Chains A and B, each alone.
Chain A
Amino acid sequence: MSIKIKDVIHKESPMTQGHRMCPGCGAPTAVHQGLMGIDHPLVVINATGCLEVSTTVYPFSAWRVPWIHTAFENAGAGAAGVEAAYQALKKKGKIDKEIKFVAFGGDGGTYDIGLQSLSGALERGHDFTYICYNNQGYMNTGAQRSSATPKGANATTSPAGSVIPGKLQKPKDLTSIAAAHHIPYVAQTTLHNYMDVASKVKKAIETPGPAFVNILVPCVLFWRIDPALQGDICKKAADTRFWPIYEVIDGEWKLSYKPKKRVPVEEFLKPQGRYSHLFKGERSKALLEQAQADVEKDWEYILDRCGETWEPAE
Chain B
Amino acid sequence: MPRKEITSGNWAFAEAMRQIDPDVVAAYPITPSTDIIMKFAEFVADGKVETNFVTVESEHSAITACVTASAAGARVMTASSANGVALMHEIFPIAGCFRTPIVFGLVNRSVGAPINIHCDHSDSMAQRDYGWIHLYCEDAQEAYDSAIMAVRLSENDDILTPVFVCQDGFITSHGFEPVEYMDDDTVKTFVGERQAVNALLDVDNPVSYGSFAMSEYYFEIKRQQIEAHKKALELYEGIAREFESISGRYYPMIDCYRTEDAEHVIVVMSSASGAVKDVVDEMRDKGHKVGCLRIRMFRPFPVKAVAAALKGKKAVAVLDRCLSIGGTAPLVAEIRSALYGAGETIPVNSCIYGLGGRDFFPQYAEDIFMDLINGINTPEERYIGLLE
Contacts and interface: CB of A to CB of B under 8 A. Distances in A.
B64 A117 contact: yes
B201 A99 contact: yes
Most buried by A among B60, B65, B94, B206: B65
A54 to B, nearest CB: 8
B207 A77 contact: no
Contact of B61 (A67, A69, A80): A80
Given A68-B200, A77-B65, A85 B73 contact: yes
Interface stretch (A55-63, A187-195, A300-308): A55-63
Interface string A139-168: 000000000000000000000000000000
A52 B71 contact: no
A120 to B, nearest CB: 3
A-side interface size class: 35 or more
Interface string A63-77: 111111111011011
A65 B64 contact: no
A70 B61 contact: no
Contact of B211 (A58, A73, A92, A121): A58
A69 to B, nearest CB: 4
Nearest to A68: B209
A116 B57 CA distance: 8
Interface stretch (B48-56, B158-166, B325-333, B350-358): B48-56
Contacts of A53: 212
A52 B71 CA distance: 17
A66 B201 contact: yes
A123 B57 contact: yes
B210 A91 contact: no
A20 to B, nearest CB: 9
A85 B74 contact: yes
A68 B71 contact: yes
B208 interface: yes
A97 interface: yes
B211 A57 contact: yes
A55 B364 CA distance: 59
A293 to B, nearest CB: 37
Interface string B62-95: 1011111111111010000000000000110010
Contact of A120 (B52, B58, B207): B58
A7 B212 CA distance: 34
Nearest to A76: B61
A85 B201 contact: yes
Nearest to B67: A70
A84 B24 CA distance: 7
Interface in B3-46: 23-24, 26
Given A77-B65, A120-B56, A43 B23 contact: no
A66 B23 contact: no
A62 to B, nearest CB: 9
A82 B55 contact: no
Contacts of B72: 43, 81-82, 85-86, 89
Nearest to A95: B201
A131 to B, nearest CB: 17
Nearest to A72: B90
B88 to A, nearest CB: 11
Interface in A19-69: 41-43, 45-46, 52-53, 56-59, 61, 63-69
A119 interface: yes
Interface string B188-221: 0000000000001111001111111110010000
A74 B61 contact: yes
A120 B28 CA distance: 12
Contact of A124 (B55, B76, B207): B55
A124 to B, nearest CB: 7
A77 B65 CA distance: 5
Contacts of A78: 64-65, 67-68
Nearest to B217: A58
B231 to A, nearest CB: 23
Given A63-B206, A66-B200, A116-B61, 16 more contacts: A41-B203, A59-B211, A66-B202, A69-B211, A73-B60, A74-B60, A74-B91, A76-B61, A77-B61, A78-B67, A81-B64, A84-B69, A88-B50, A88-B69, A99-B203, A117-B64
Interface of B: 23-24, 26, 50-52, 54-58, 60-62, 64-74, 76, 90-91, 94, 200-203, 206-214, 217
13 contacts: A43-B201, A46-B210, A52-B210, A64-B206, A65-B203, A66-B200, A70-B67, A81-B54, A81-B69, A88-B23, A88-B50, A89-B23, A116-B61
